[in-house]
Amino acid sequence: MITRLNTVTVYVSDQQRSLDFYVDKLGFEKRADRDMGPAGRWIEVRPTGSDTGLVLADGNAFGKQDRVGSAADLIFATDDVHAAHASVVARGVPATEPNGLAWGTSFVVTDPDGLEVLIMQPR
């Protein structure tokens, strides 16, 4: 029986640059960083306290260069969208202004490969 979502793979052009972005800029924790030989590194990051994370996979090593920066729609939840916005902006991450809609308030940041990441607080 399936019990939870473990990881989502995001194909990246530079694993270290992406690791630095998600950990240093968005405040995620590094869950794993192991050598996989020719396939690069097995890197997992996740929001602190979350069971679900991202695998930052080398797009070139897996022949998925066409998916770098465009193959996932990531939406992360927060309990305080304004504090999350202030935190990422203070770390030098360009972000849209928080926008309130019927379903909640959100803003967008862009990872080093151009992947837009939505950070939202549900209503």
Nearest-angstrom CA–CA distance, 33 and 50 = 17
Instruction: Report whether 25 contacts 17 (CB < 8 A).
Output: no
Alpha helices in the chain (DSSP H): 15-20, 81-90
Give 5's pLDDT tier (boundaries 50, 70, 90): confident
Is residue 2 domain-resident? no
Backbone angles phi, psi at 118, to 5 degrees: -95, 130
Task: Give the domain extent around 65.
Answer: 7-122
pLDDT tens, position by position, 67-98: 999 888 888 999 999 999 999 999 999 999 99
CATH number at residue 38: 3.10.180.10
Is residue 59 domain-resident? yes
pLDDT tens, position by position, 54-71: 999 999 999 999 999 988
Q: How large is the average pLDDT for residues 9-30?
A: 97
Of 76, 75, 55, the closest CA to residue 12 belongs to 55
Count of domains forming the chain: 1
What is this structure's pTM? 0.87
